[in-house]
Amino acid sequence: MIHRLISTSTLFFLLSPLASAQAPEPEQETLWGHSAHGASYDQGPRQKPWRMEGIGSTPFPITSTNPEVQEWFDQAITLMHGFWWYEAERSLRWCLKLDPECAMAYWALSIATGQGGGERSGEFLQEAVDRIDTVTERERAFIRMSEAFQAVREAEDSDKAQAEAMVLFDRLLMDYPDDVEAKALYWLNGSRAYGLQAGLVRYGMEAVLDDILELDPDHVGALHYRVHNWDGKEGHYAVNSCMQLPEIAPACGHLLHMPGHVLSGIGLWHEAAIAMDRATRVEKAYMSERLIMPEDNWDYAHNLNYLSYIQEQLGMVDQALLGGEQLLKAPAFRENPMFASLTKVPTMRALLKFERWEELLDDERIGWDPENPLDQIYSKLCRLQALIGLERLEEAEDLLDELRSSGKQESADSEIPPFIFQGIEDSLKGIEAQLLIAQGSNLEGLALLTEAAAHQEENWHNDPPEAAHFLYNVLGDTYLELGAPKLAAECYEKTLETVFHDGFAVAGLVVAYHQLGETEKAREARAKLGVIWSDAQPNRWLAAANATGIRVAPHLEAPLEQRNYKKEVLDVVGPSLWVPGFVPELIATNAEGEEVSLADYTGQNVLLVFYLGDECVHCIEQLGIAEERLEGLEALDAVVLAVSKDTVDEIAAQQEDFGLTLLSDVEFENARRFHSFDDFEEIELHSTFLITKDGRLHWSTIGGEPFTDFDYIENELKRMNRTAEVKVATTR
């Protein structure tokens, strides 16, 4: 469902940039705070890169007039192999700062910016094509190949165009058989052209990866793509790569994250948790240090969601909920309501899985958005499940009727993708079956639950699932309650065919086989449970298994000897919690010539705006809106500071029109510290920051048009105040 919007499995099909016309040069009056090269440059990072350690190394020789370019280009390629697109773009834009005519930097930018859609990728590729005569024949082959893949999107016969593009790639490999990077990119394109699920393609692609690793055993791209290649039930083929990647690239979050995918897919939950926890810690350290917001770090929410799921599978519910809390406290994802709903999935899933019914009935527990249609559907599903769990069956029946009718209307009226509604229908069917059983209609309920379980199994994904329960477990629990342990055991075994070493199913097997008198099978299940749930918190499934009186030494057959997640020391990797970093120092001068700093406003929220002076019409419009909303902002305990390059005398003249505080930053010293300055083009930028009462960055937007969505700002201020109130209450 929602998680598919950011699924990593969709993000490596990226070498084919979107087709688009080159952006026209903007007129002079629109250049305030914008790139002189067009809108494509207004997005992405705007500050120079730094030399990054712990990401691996993948040399890719190119043509450039500046020798330093090669270093930054190699770093960018390595980052792209780790799907760290944002930082790859930063390095590539620095290449163009050093050599504006570097064709291959434009070519790589077309890849780095291609994963999000839009026009940027095609525009960057066109820049590379325009400079194709300045590079070697090998580099031309890469550019022509990308052109061919771009043409696929415009072709009437896309299959034929795809095949022709792959032929160009085949020729590139034949002409340069020892080119490691060509082989790595071939895997990416082959995955896109054929699909990893198509017959034996993944086995053929494995041969390509073997060729790369024979030439470079530590190639982060090949190791990463091997993990993707076997992400699923055959993950044992990639276990060695899963363990190797963290040693080679300990500072790249996604290269720590993907091993967690594979390890969880084959039921090595402790190792999966270690991998995913390391990934989240590395991401949190990077975000806090570099003042990166969650919405600018595509893997952050996915990391936390996945870690929470793995912790649920280990029975560690409090830890799982802690990850969910971090997503709930993060700034709302303004541009994508579907993504905003994703941030609530971990908390919703854990509360449902561990039957925290009263918390689910508390609307403020998750903070459902009344304006988000998917939030509202999810909130009703949670409430319905909770009402059944609390045996408030009449209320549940009424809510079910409401969901049936409103769901059809929502499906017709909203922008929620149809496949999401299909997932909601599946969940609703499972809950409806449970309601029927709770009402005593066992045969009808069991038939519906069996149908729902089979459909869920057929469409199950581990990326991670948003569903709280694997329905064959629910069916098994129901059969146990009805006194049918044989049927229950069959259901639990069915679960384990899809969700390897699922603790809930294994716990159920202990009980079912014990009741059937199959002692050896019961003991075998209890030994497995001792490993899987070695650190689980008390829950009813574990209690039922313990009540059988079976005591055996923990043991689990696995491709490797697992470490214990709870005992692993991970604090050296990074923080367990994402806490927004402290903002830089702000020291500017007000209209009276007095020095002003953020320390003057400790204990108040700060809305900090960098504008481009009174010559920028759009900036003044932004300040005008802030002035109109000033009373509401002040009621939320916020002060508004607006900083520009204008002199004290100039802002003194402007100040007469504003109640908010204007500040002078003539030399851009503050703008540079707050990243409100483009190091590539050496221009000031529009930017807006929300700063908490204790001086931490809650949210920011830098570059592009001045930010004028003050409804969003007020909503975030309310969330900041709620968080501050909770913090005060917990420290008393």
DSSP conformation letters of 212-243: HHHH-TT-HHHHHHHHHHT-STTGGGGHHHHH
What pLDDT sits at residue 154?
72
What pLDDT sits at residue 418?
67
Task: Grade residue 269 by pLDDT with cuts at 50, 70 and 90.
Answer: very high
- Which range, of 270-284, 322-336, 341-355, 522-536, averages the lowest pLDDT? 322-336
**Domain for residue 201, yes or no?**
yes
Looking at per-residue pLDDT, the higher value among 119 and 289 belongs to: 289
Instruction: Calculate mean pLDDT across residues 48-74.
Output: 97
Q: Kindly report whether the global pTM for this prediction surpasses the value 0.85.
A: yes
What pLDDT sits at residue 155?
73
Element (H, E) at 587: strand 587-590
Domain range spanning residue 80?
7-229
Are 234 and 213 in the same domain? no
Closest CA to 46 of 723, 728, 701: 701
What pLDDT sits at residue 105?
98
What pLDDT sits at residue 50?
97
What pLDDT sits at residue 575?
87
Rounded distance, CA 113 to CA 85, Å? 7
Element (H, E) at 609: strand 605-610
User: In the predicted model, is pLDDT for residue 167 greater than 60?
Assistant: yes
What pLDDT sits at residue 550?
97
> Residue 638's beta-bridge partner residues?
605
pLDDT tens column, 600-637? 999 999 999 999 998 899 999 999 999 999 999 999 99
What pLDDT sits at residue 611?
96
Coil, strand, or helix at residue 523? helix
Q: Residue 533 in contact with residue 503, Cβ under 8 Å?
A: yes
Coil, strand, or helix at residue 683? strand
User: In the predicted model, is pLDDT for residue 297 greater than 90?
Assistant: no
Q: Residue 69 in contact with residue 99, Cβ under 8 Å?
A: yes
Residue with tokens 């120092």: 585
Q: Which amino acid is at 284?
A: K
Rounded distance, CA 410 to CA 381, Å? 14
> Residue 607's beta-bridge partner residues?
640, 690
- With vertex at residue 363, the alpha carbon angle to CA 358 and CA 364, rounded to the nearest 5 degrees, is 105
| Signed CA dihedral, 651, 652, 654, 658: sign only | positive
Looking at per-residue pLDDT, the higher value among 188 and 472 belongs to: 472
What pLDDT sits at residue 25?
39
Closest CA to 559 of 231, 240, 273, 277: 240
What pLDDT sits at residue 516?
98
Looking at per-residue pLDDT, the higher value among 531 and 149 belongs to: 531
Are 225 and 235 in the same domain? no
Rounded distance, CA 414 to CA 206, Å? 42
Are 519 and 601 in the same domain? no
Instruction: Calculate mean pLDDT across residues 676-688.
Output: 93
User: In the predicted model, is pLDDT for residue 646 greater than 80?
Assistant: yes
**Domain for residue 68, yes or no?**
yes
Share the mean pLDDT of the chain. 88
Mark out the alpha helices in 7-157 (DSSP H runs): 68-81, 85-98, 103-112, 120-130, 137-152
Tokens linked to 336: 């994508």
The phi-psi region of residue 685 (left if phi > 0; otherwise alpha if psi is between -120 and 50; otherwise beta) is beta
**Domain for residue 337, yes or no?**
no
Q: State the CATH number of the domain containing residue 283.
A: 1.25.40
What pLDDT sits at residue 462?
81
pLDDT above 90 coverage of the chain, percent: 67
User: In the predicted model, is pLDDT for residue 24 greater than 50?
Assistant: no
Mark out the alpha helices in 153-232 (DSSP H runs): 158-175, 180-194, 201-215, 220-229
What pLDDT sits at residue 414?
59
Q: State the CATH number of the domain containing residue 715.
A: 3.40.30.10
Are 136 and 235 in the same domain? no
What pLDDT sits at residue 453?
95
Coil, strand, or helix at residue 90? helix
Rounded distance, CA 1 to CA 12, Å? 19
Neighbours of 524 (CB within 10 A): 18
User: In the predicted model, is pLDDT for residue 466 greater than 80?
Assistant: yes
What pLDDT sits at residue 8?
36
Q: Among 292, 327, 362, where does a domain finish? A: 327
Instruction: Calculate mean pLDDT across residues 398-403.
Output: 91
User: In the predicted model, is pLDDT for residue 684 greater than 80?
Assistant: yes
Cα 640 to Cα 623, 637, 691, distances in angstroms: 10, 10, 10
User: In the predicted model, is pLDDT for residue 717 greater than 80?
Assistant: yes
- Which range, of 139-143, 353-357, 580-584, averages the lowest pLDDT? 580-584
What pLDDT sits at residue 40?
75
User: In the predicted model, is pLDDT for residue 156 greater than 80?
Assistant: no
464: preceding bond cis by omega (within 30 degrees): yes
User: In the predicted model, is pLDDT for residue 388 greater than 70?
Assistant: yes
**Domain for residue 296, yes or no?**
yes
Are 31 and 80 in the same domain? yes
**Domain for residue 441, yes or no?**
no
Q: Among 508, 534, 556, where does a domain finish? A: 556
**Domain for residue 429, yes or no?**
no
- With vertex at residue 233, the alpha carbon angle to CA 230 and CA 236, rounded to the nearest 5 degrees, is 60
What pLDDT sits at residue 596?
96
What pLDDT sits at residue 67?
96
Looking at per-residue pLDDT, the higher value among 422 and 184 belongs to: 184
Q: What is the DSSP string of 322-365?
A: HHHHHHHHSPP-SS-HHHHHHTTHHHHHHHHHTT-HHHHH-HHH
User: In the predicted model, is pLDDT for residue 42 greater than 90?
Assistant: no
pLDDT tens column, 180-238? 999 888 877 766 555 544 445 778 788 889 999 999 999 999 999 999 989 888 899 99
**Domain for residue 650, yes or no?**
yes
- How far, rounded to the nearest angstrom, does the alpha carbon of residue 109 sit from its chain's CA centroid? 21
Q: Which amino acid is at 710?
A: F
Instruction: Calculate mean pLDDT across residues 134-156.
Output: 87
Kindly give, in sequence order, each residue whose CB lies less than 8 Å from that of residue 468, ignoring residues fewer than 6 positions away. Answer: 348, 349, 350, 352, 353
Closest CA to 520 of 504, 531, 509: 509
Looking at per-residue pLDDT, the higher value among 45 and 270 belongs to: 270
Are 141 and 193 in the same domain? yes
The tally of CA atoms less than 13 A away on the side-chain side of residue 80 is 32
Closest CA to 712 of 325, 291, 340: 340
Task: Grade residue 14 by pLDDT with cuts at 50, 70 and 90.
Answer: very low
Are 71 and 147 in the same domain? yes
Are 175 and 84 in the same domain? yes
Are 499 and 606 in the same domain? no
**Domain for residue 620, yes or no?**
yes
pLDDT tens column, 443-460? 999 999 999 999 999 988
SS3 percent helix, strand, coil of the chain, rounded to 5, is 60, 5, 35
Task: Grade residue 103 by pLDDT with cuts at 50, 70 and 90.
Answer: very high
Are 496 and 603 in the same domain? no
pLDDT tens column, 507-521? 999 999 999 999 999
Neighbours of 57 (CB within 10 A): 14
Q: Among 187, 214, 229, where does a domain finish? A: 229
Are 36 and 169 in the same domain? yes
When divided into structural domains, the chain yields a total of 4
Closest CA to 95 of 106, 82, 84, 83: 106
Are 174 and 247 in the same domain? no
